[in-house]
Amino acid sequence: MSIFAAGCAMAASAWAWPDRPITLVVPYTPGTGIDLVARQLSARLPQVLGQPVVVDNVPGASGNIGSERVARAAPDGYTLLVQVSTLVMNKSLYKSLPYDPVNDFAPVAQTSWGTLLLVRNPSAQKAATVPALVAEAKARPGALTYGTPGVGTPHHLAMALLTQKAGIEMLHVPFKGTAGAVTDLLGGRLDFMFLPVHVALPHIRAGKLQALAAGSDQRVPQLPDVPTLAEAGIDTGSVDMWYGVLAPKGTPPAIVERLNGAIAGILRQPDVAAAFETQGMVPAVSSPGDFARLVAKDAARWAEVVKKGGITAD
């Protein structure tokens, strides 16, 4: 087949797309924030695209198993990845990934942002503000502790970035999941932690946790009196987690653009925004190009943090 004929065949295929069900691969267990994003999309995309859309949860290896499946799938628009910014963090955390998180995908659309809050147990005799935290950490290097759901998680890299920018040393205590870390934080056995808004907010409202700063560029609407990290004196830039949809590399641009437009329309629906809010997320409409630039920028930024901190997940 000539190059011209192959191009015509691809164009015809893209024009006919979709003519069968589409699969959204979620590389985590049901009930997670990224799973909620996928299920909101799967419930609404059929109304726009005219074909069923199913969610396939493929958890394991920090999202790498499901992500690899999509990276190796046919670039025909029928197998898509719904992921969080852990995707690009893994590029630097694992020495030998079987796929490239940046170059093996065609970014389709960012769907949302998820803000991380820096919190402490207010009953503990520890620094109650970010400047006080920095001062105490400098006075007693390694004495203050922080918990995370595990090495290389967004919570961990956010704190690693904070300590690097502030020039301080804190003791990292990794857990296997969020629940155990939160339990120890509430019990006063940990000093600090980054937590998603929806996880931290009930404890903050109950007076069991205090929010020191928001990791976003803007203050969190639910906590308007809590400063951002930049306002508190540490210019980390946003440590928010992004969520989005990606296709295998080589997916026809016409399919990517149609998917992007369909997803953008869904994200503008008020009930979708309300559903996202339950998981501490806010919708984010973007072009494929904007999302691609965000993915590449974040991969480079977190690579620097990982290298400087000597962090590895292997």
Superfamily holding 116-214: Periplasmic binding protein-like II (3.40.190.10)
Tell me what pLDDT residue 162 has: 97
Percent of the chain with pLDDT over 90: 82
Write out the residue limits of the CATH 3.40.190.150 domain(s) in the chain.
Answer: 3-114+241-309
Give CA separation, 300 vs 83, 128, 293, in Å: 18, 32, 11
Nearest to 163 by CA among 125, 189, 209, 194: 194
Nearest to 156 by CA among 301, 279, 309: 309
pLDDT category of residue 103 using cuts at 50, 70 and 90:
very high
Tell me what pLDDT residue 5 has: 46
Nearest to 111 by CA among 68, 77, 155, 80: 80
Q: By the 8 A CB rule, do 28 and 63 touch?
A: yes
Q: By the 8 A CB rule, do 37 and 73 touch?
A: no
Task: Please state the rounded mean pLDDT for residues 258-275.
Answer: 96
Please indicate whether residue 15 or residue 142 has the higher confidence score (pLDDT). Answer: 142
Nearest to 67 by CA among 24, 19, 109: 24
Tell me what pLDDT residue 6 has: 46
Q: What is the Cα–Cα distance from 313 to 153, expressed in whole angstroms?
A: 9
Q: By the 8 A CB rule, do 220 and 204 touch?
A: no
Write out the residue limits of the CATH 3.40.190.10 domain(s) in the chain.
Answer: 116-214
pLDDT category of residue 46 using cuts at 50, 70 and 90:
very high
Tell me what pLDDT residue 8 has: 46
Half-sphere exposure at residue 241, Cβ-oriented, CA atoms within 13 angstroms: 26
Residue with tokens 């998981």: 279
Tell me what pLDDT residue 141 has: 94
Tell me what pLDDT residue 280 has: 84
Q: By the 8 A CB rule, do 33 and 83 touch?
A: no
Tell me what pLDDT residue 15 has: 67
Tell me what pLDDT residue 313 has: 82
Tell me what pLDDT residue 13 has: 52
Give the least confident one: 62-66, 206-210, 272-276, 277-281.
277-281
pTM: 0.89
Q: What is the Cα–Cα distance from 201 to 197, expressed in whole angstroms?
A: 6
Q: What is the Cα–Cα distance from 49 to 101, expressed in whole angstroms?
A: 27
List the alpha helices (DSSP H) in 72-196. Answer: 86-93, 130-139, 154-166, 178-186
Q: What is the Cα–Cα distance from 41 to 55, expressed in whole angstroms?
A: 9
Assess whether pLDDT exceeds 80 at residue 110: yes
Mean pLDDT (the chain, rounded): 92
Tell me what pLDDT residue 206 has: 95
Q: By the 8 A CB rule, do 106 and 248 touch?
A: yes
The dihedral region occupied by 209, where left means phi > 0, alpha psi between -120 and 50, and beta the remainder, is beta
Assess whether pLDDT exceeds 50 at residue 149: yes
Q: What is the Cα–Cα distance from 219 to 95, expressed in whole angstroms?
A: 36
The alpha carbon torsion through 157, 163, 167, 173 (nearest 10 deg) reads: -110
As a CATH number, domain 3-114+241-309 is 3.40.190.150
Tell me what pLDDT residue 14 has: 56
Structure tokens at 12: 């015809």
Half-sphere exposure at residue 229, Cβ-oriented, CA atoms within 13 angstroms: 26
Q: By the 8 A CB rule, do 13 and 252 touch?
A: yes
